[in-house]
Amino acid sequence: MRRVLVIGIGAGNPEHLTLQAIDALNRVDAIFLMDKGAAKAKLIALREEICRRHVTRPHRLVHADSPEWTRGTADYGATIDALNRDKGALFERLITDALADGECGAFLVWGDPALYDSTIRILETIAARGTVAFAYEVIPGISSVQALTARHRIPLNRIGQSVAITTGRRLAEAWPDADTVVVMLDAHNSFQRYVDQDIDIWWGAYVGTPDEIVIAGRLREVADEIVRVRAAARHANGWIMDSYVMRRRAAASDVDED
Ligand SMILES: C[S@@+](CC[C@H](N)C(=O)[O-])C[C@H]1O[C@@H](n2cnc3c(N)ncnc32)[C@H](O)[C@@H]1O
């Protein structure tokens, strides 16, 4: 039986790697690296650095071109389904052709594999198809949410209150039913919809990496700065990975009662 490990590698800082992840990396025969083109070479470089620093057992690095998605299509759901089908075909090929029976391979997933990442869903689909027999295991990682809150030195939740993790697309439709909102995958500065409300924002791009930028403050006071800084960073790097935490300012008594 082939074995596959889905290893969370943290959100950009090689030191995010957990001891469990290092141990898992030293159980594998092959590490699959998904290339996303020259603009995102830093994402591969981080994975290669992790392997250089932490893998002591002989292993193969297997590079493959990651299927890309077409941005701005009318049907976002269908586009993502098609992307995941393409990735599924690729992952199945890698497990079948790059691993011998009895060998172990690893997918290195950015942040934590449970958060806005399709690797687990794709492996479930391949396993259900049954074309190739394999067992898989998931090793958690430090997510970008944890990296962001630690960098801003904030708790994620207010005492006894709820947190929603959502996308820019969803936030643009409505504020979720939660006290604190974490927003990921926001290509359109959806926080701007809320600038007339009394909200605090903690924003970060490339958190944990040498390119890290963070901005925090009252939304209405920092929104324009975030839009400006974000556009410049995206232009300079060719891509951006940013996320933010927002919550409405509470009356002092609400906080004291907690
Ligand atoms: C496809 S999701 C993957 C999330 C990842 N699995 C995790 O646990 O953080 C990519 C989104 O995560 C957020 N993100 C990932 N790494 C980040 C970082 N270093 N700094 C800020 N946001 C990050 C951004 O919102 C980005 O658009």
Give CA separation, 214 vs 46, 148, 166, in Å. 21, 9, 20
Best residue for ligand 1 mutational test, from 16, 110, 229 (most atoms within 8 Å of Cβ): 110
CA 143 to ligand 1 center in whole angstroms: 7
> Quick check: helix, strand or coil at residue 65?
strand
Q: Is the CB of 11 under 6 A from ligand 1?
A: yes
What pLDDT digit, counting tens, does each position of 162-221 carry? 999 999 999 999 999 999 999 999 999 999 999 999 999 999 999 999 999 999 999 999
Rounded to whole angstroms, the Cα distance separating 44 from 50 reads: 10
Among 40, 144, 151, name the best residue to mutate to test ligand 1's pocket (greatest count of ligand atoms within 8 A of Cβ). 144
Record the tokens describing residue 131, joined without a space. Answer: 């074309």
95-145 pLDDT, tens per residue? 999 999 999 999 999 999 999 999 999 999 999 999 999 999 999 999 999
Its pTM stands at 0.92
Burial of 170 per CB tally in 10 Å (0-12, 13-18, 19+)? middle
Tell me if 106 CB under 6 Å of ligand 1: no
Query: 241 C-alpha to center of ligand 1: Å?
Result: 6
**CA–CA separation, 114 and 117 (whole Å):** 6
Residue 208 CA: nearest ligand 1 atom is: 19
In angstroms, what is the span from residue 186 Cα to ligand 1's centroid? 10
